[in-house]
């Protein structure tokens, strides 16, 4: 075996090992990866029913209905809306007109059922997708993010 053939066989062996390692990591993470979508992206990408996702946006003012531990509200990004159902106790910071991330999945009927709700914990925090959407619409006011959010959520 010539020196060139040895180098090629070593490089080929390393490529096979690297490919196998990458495949194993991706298979191991497959069930752990949860993608983040805005309501508009949820509609555009036609996320399959039962796929775990995170839905982020603002709770539309006047849409939160509570009956015991059953909660229904609308999450909006200013362009599209999605109704979310959640059974359980909501975080103390959950309010209409505020940012929220709902973790769950879309059912076969098209309704989003959340298994976990994360309310914003910092009044200056706005999900990046929402900021991008506000900037694209020309409604982003960096000096007054709360004003931008109120305009977006209809409040």
Known binding residues are 121, 125
SS3 59: strand
Hey, CA dihedral for 76, 129, 101, 103, is it positive or negative? positive
Give the integer Cα–Cα distance in Å for 130 and 78: 8
Q: Which residues are annotated as a binding site for heme?
A: 121, 125
Burial of 28 (0-12, 13-18, 19+ CB in 10 A): exposed
- Tell me the backbone φ, ψ of residue 145, rounded to 5 degrees: -60, -30
């Amino acid at each position: 075996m010539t020196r060139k053939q040895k180098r090629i066989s070593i490089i080929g062996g390393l490529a096979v090992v690297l490919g196998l390692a990458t495949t194993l990591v991706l298979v191991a993470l497959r069930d752990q990866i949860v993608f983040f979508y805005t309501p508009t992206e949820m509609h555009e990408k036609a996320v399959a029913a039962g796929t775990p996702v995170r839905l982020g946006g603002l709770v539309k003012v006047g849409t939160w209905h509570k009956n015991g531990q059953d909660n229904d509200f609308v999450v909006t990004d200013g362009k599209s809306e999605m109704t979310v159902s959640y059974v359980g106790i909501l975080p103390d910071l959950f309010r209409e007109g505020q940012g929220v991330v709902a973790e769950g999945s879309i059912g076969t009927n098209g309704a989003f059922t959340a298994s976990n709700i994360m309310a914003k914990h910092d009044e200056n925090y706005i999900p990046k997708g929402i900021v991008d959407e506000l900037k694209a619409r020309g409604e982003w006011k960096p000096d007054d993010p709360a004003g931008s959010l109120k305009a977006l959520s209809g409040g």
